[in-house]
């Protein structure tokens, strides 16, 4: 690996959680980095995510579970490196159900996770109310699983911290401008970027971290990156004080704090209504708000603050696309759902690949070439 020639200037396209993590890791290692975002860093999908740091929901493939466990560890390391204030909220994650089939499924998953060495704690509703979350309305005997190593993240604050440190280390930030064209030289190597503000950049490498726009960026280098069309709706509510202390999956609703005086609500059941004609975000927000008040009666006087329907950046097979694309020298991808969990580990691994040529085994199942035509 020592014979690899590190690139000169690296452009990171998209400054959500993945782009910010890649840029921060590159800049702290001395690379010349340009961060480019069509909007403002951290204010796209990253800000409209449930932002749950976990591996308990990632059991469909063992390699994907292992990658997410590494992501959780990388978050703890990042909190030590840059300070945890305003963005890092450990404290675990709760899950319970209100029907036998759903309950059996999550208990089976908990058994599998325990067998894989993941920390799992079982409680009853009464114990959870007494020890952890007194504001919850849940039956005394209902089984509740606690994953104590999980957390939630304030994505926008984390991106702001990472970008600030990257810029302090010499990175350049260009926000409010889109990449219109990527120029290549003979042999296909990436060499230039043309931006919507009329400017251009000479570059030696580009990282496609453009989230829902990643397939458009890939097309600029003649690559087909198939993506799912998967919208999700997230609602923020105002409440004071915030009556819960951690992220949780309650029946029909996902809940977490969002800092002082605010909570985030999401539901896959409500997401399913988006493509069935119930697309008015205000109506979707009302459904979420009604569900959370059943679980947390103290939210009776809370009010809906903001709602957004956002498209998740999910490659077609549901797994990340991360690493070099051999057919386009100098072009790399960092495209994934679960960007909040995976951002710190993918940022570190991709920076090592760009600067050292290191291809980490954690990414073996998730390399971009699986989508080559």
**pLDDT at residue 95 greater than cutoff 50:** yes
Q: So what's the pLDDT on residue 280?
A: 87
Beta bridge partners of 205: 10
CATH 3.50.50.60 assigned to 9-49+155-228+315-371: yes
Q: So what's the pLDDT on residue 373?
A: 53
Q: What mean pLDDT comes out for the span 46-68?
A: 97
User: What does the block give as tokens for 84?
Assistant: 């945890």
**pLDDT at residue 24 greater than cutoff 60:** yes
Q: So what's the pLDDT on residue 187?
A: 83
Residue 266 DSSP SS3: strand
- Give the separation between CA 216 and CA 5, rounded to whole angstroms: 28
Q: So what's the pLDDT on residue 3?
A: 45
Other Cβ atoms within 10 Å of 330 Cβ, number: 23
| Ranges 20-24, 191-195, 238-242, 275-279: which has the least confidence | 275-279
**pLDDT at residue 267 greater than cutoff 80:** yes
- Give the separation between CA 114 and CA 112, rounded to whole angstroms: 5
Q: So what's the pLDDT on residue 2?
A: 43
**pLDDT at residue 279 greater than cutoff 80:** no
- Give the separation between CA 349 and CA 97, rounded to whole angstroms: 37
**pLDDT, mean over the chain:** 95
Considering the entire predicted model, what is its pTM? 0.96
Under the banding of pLDDT at 50, 70 and 90, the label for residue 111 is very high
3.40.1280.10, 2.40.50.140, 3.30.9.10, 3.30.230.70: which CATH number matches 92-150+229-311? 3.30.9.10
CB 90 within 8 A of CB 244: no
User: What does the block give as tokens for 262?
Assistant: 């605010």
- Give the separation between CA 62 and CA 67, rounded to whole angstroms: 9
Could you report how far apart the first and last alpha carbons of the chain are, in Å? 28
The domains of the chain are located at 9-49+155-228+315-371, 92-150+229-311
pLDDT in tens, 142-196: 999 999 999 999 999 999 999 999 999 999 999 999 999 999 998 889 999 999 9
Q: Which residues of 47-67 are buried (b: 16+ CB within 10 A; e: fewer)?
A: bbbbbbbbbbbbbeeeebbbb
Under the banding of pLDDT at 50, 70 and 90, the label for residue 276 is low
DSSP 8-state class, residue 315? B
């Amino acid at each position: 690996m020592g014979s690899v020639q590190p690139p000169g200037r690296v452009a990171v396209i998209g400054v959500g959680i993945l782009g910010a993590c890649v840029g921060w890791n590159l800049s702290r290692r001395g690379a010349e980095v340009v961060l480019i975002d069509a909007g403002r860093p951290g204010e796209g999908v990253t800000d409209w995510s449930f932002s749950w740091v976990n591996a308990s929901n990632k059991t469909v493939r063992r390699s994907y579970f292992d990658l997410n466990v590494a992501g959780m560890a990388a978050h703890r390391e990042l909190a030590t490196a840059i300070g945890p204030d305003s963005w890092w909220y450990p404290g675990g994650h709760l899950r319970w159900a209100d029907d036998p089939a759903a309950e059996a499924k999550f208990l089976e998953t908990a058994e599998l996770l325990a067998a894989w060495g993941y920390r799992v704690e079982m409680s009853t509703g009464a114990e959870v109310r007494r020890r952890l979350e007194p504001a919850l309305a849940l039956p005394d005997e209902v089984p509740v699983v606690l994953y104590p190593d999980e957390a939630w993240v304030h994505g926008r604050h984390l991106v702001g911290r990472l970008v600030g440190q990257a810029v302090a280390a010499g990175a350049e930030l260009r926000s409010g401008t889109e990449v219109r064209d990527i120029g290549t030289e003979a042999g296909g190597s990436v060499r230039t970027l043309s931006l919507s503000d009329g400017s251009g950049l000479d570059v030696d490498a580009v990282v496609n971290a453009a989230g829902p726009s990643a397939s458009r960026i890939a097309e600029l280098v003649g690559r087909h990156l198939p993506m799912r069309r998967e919208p999700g709706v997230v609602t923020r509510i105002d409440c004071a004080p915030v009556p819960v202390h951690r992220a949780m999956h309650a029946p029909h609703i996902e809940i977490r704090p969002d800092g002082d005086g605010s909570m985030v609500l999401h539901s896959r059941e409500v997401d399913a209504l988006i493509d069935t004609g119930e697309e008015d975000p205000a109506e979707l927000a009302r459904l979420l708000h009604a569900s959370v008040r059943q679980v947390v009666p103290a939210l009776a006087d809370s009010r809906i603050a903001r709602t957004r329907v956002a498209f998740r950046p999910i490659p077609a097979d549901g797994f990340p696309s991360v690493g070099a694309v051999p057919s386009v020298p100098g072009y790399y991808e960092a495209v994934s759902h679960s960007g909040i969990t995976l951002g710190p580990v993918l940022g570190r691994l991709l920076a090592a690949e760009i600067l050292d040529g290191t291809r980490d085994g954690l990414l073996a199942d998730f390399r971009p070439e699986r989508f080559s035509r």
